[in-house]
Amino acid sequence: MMLASLLQYGLFADAPLPSGLPLSESEWQALFDESRRQAVTALTYDAILKLPAEVRPSRKVLFRFYSLAQTIEDDNRRREKALDDFMELCKRNLDCVPTVVKGSSLACLYREPLHRECGDNDLLTGVDTERVGAMVEGMGIAVDRKDPRHISFMFEKTTFECHSYLLYHNDDPEWHSCRIANSETLQGLPAEESAFFLAKHCEHHAVFFHNPVRLRTLIDWCLLLGSKGFDFDAFDCLKRGTDVDVFADLMTLYCQQLFGVVLRDGLTTLQAKGLKADDFYNIYMLCPERHRRAVVRVARRSWKYLRYGRQYRAIYGRSMFRRFYLQNLRVAIGQHL
């Protein structure tokens, strides 16, 4: 994948100059479009600026990357200001310090934090969630409580989600907080807990909603596991026996192959299970766009579950028909799947 090779060159030390770079303007435009789908346009722009001048795209194409990178920076500055202002309100009015998850807590791992694309501000507010909601409503801001996991609202033109719990079946471990690097005020999850939540989050969306795992998530994963002092023993304890135990290791194996980095040794258990790095790509990244007809969606899922039945059983210890349809049928019907 050319985009992944270019991102590898831009993000990781000693990465080789990508071969087979686009030659025509239309090929660069296709790469630009793919970077937008993968939510990595600003990171791709950074990588292009590292390229020798003779293999860079035309000024016209480069300006497209530059313009969108500037928009991403501006959006992130607005979102981070809203986050700082909201955290100050929580501290002053409620004497609580919410824990930042995803978003800014992952952006701090990047060489250019403003170039990691973020959407909303996700906070773990736990038992303080209703107090936070009442404070926001007292400011005349509408609060959406439809999702049992979190409340959501708009503050300073930015969407906030304040979570009572993070995982989708309310089976959270005991979360902890620590200061986010390069921030004097923000608290985030320790890297091992952040990785566990990220694995849970992307696996759920890939399996339940059939959304492909994007390159942005894989880069987050590489930077988290490669962060200084990451404790793999603690991480293994968190994920052991959960539905992301093997999934997380398989994602690590795929990232190592895709970006040419070494994140951890000792993944031989995957080989013993008959799993390869390409299985992650085939199962979690090759997902067609959602079809409007339920019968087509069911047929597509069923064929995939049959085709990769051995791999699914190696990952989850049972077939996906049993895991997905039996466990999630009630939810699926409720959401008109």
pLDDT of res. 13: 85
Along the 337 residues of the chain, how does pLDDT read in single tens digits?
Answer: 899 999 999 999 889 999 888 889 999 999 999 999 999 999 999 999 999 999 999 999 999 999 999 999 999 999 999 999 999 999 999 999 999 999 999 999 999 999 999 989 999 999 999 999 999 999 999 999 999 999 999 999 999 999 999 998 889 999 999 999 878 889 999 999 999 999 999 999 998 888 999 999 999 999 999 999 999 999 999 999 999 999 999 999 999 999 999 999 888 889 999 999 999 999 999 887 777 888 888 888 888 999 999 999 999 998 888 877 665 555 545 544 4
The CA-based angle 85-87-89, given to 5 degrees, is 70
* Chain centroid to CA 171: 20
pLDDT of res. 221: 98
pLDDT of res. 336: 47
pLDDT of res. 330: 53
For residues 329 and 337, give the distance between their C-alpha atoms in angstroms, rounded to a whole number.
9
Taking the complete model, does pTM exceed 0.85, yes or no? yes
Q: Facing residues of 162 across strands?
A: 123, 151
Report the first-to-last Cα separation within the chain, whole angstroms: 32
Structure tokens at 202: 């992307």
SS3 for 89-132 is HHHHHHCCCCEEECHHHHHCCCCCHHHCCCCCEEEECHHHHHHH
pLDDT of res. 329: 57
* Radius of gyration of the chain from its Cα atoms, rounded to whole angstroms: 21
Q: Facing residues of 122 across strands?
A: 101, 161
For residues 9 and 16, give the distance between their C-alpha atoms in angstroms, rounded to a whole number.
6
Residue with tokens 């791709």: 44
Q: 181 and 108 in contact (C-beta within 8 Å)?
A: yes
pLDDT of res. 209: 85
For residues 243 and 207, give the distance between their C-alpha atoms in angstroms, rounded to a whole number.
11
Q: Kind and range of the H or E element at 262? A: none
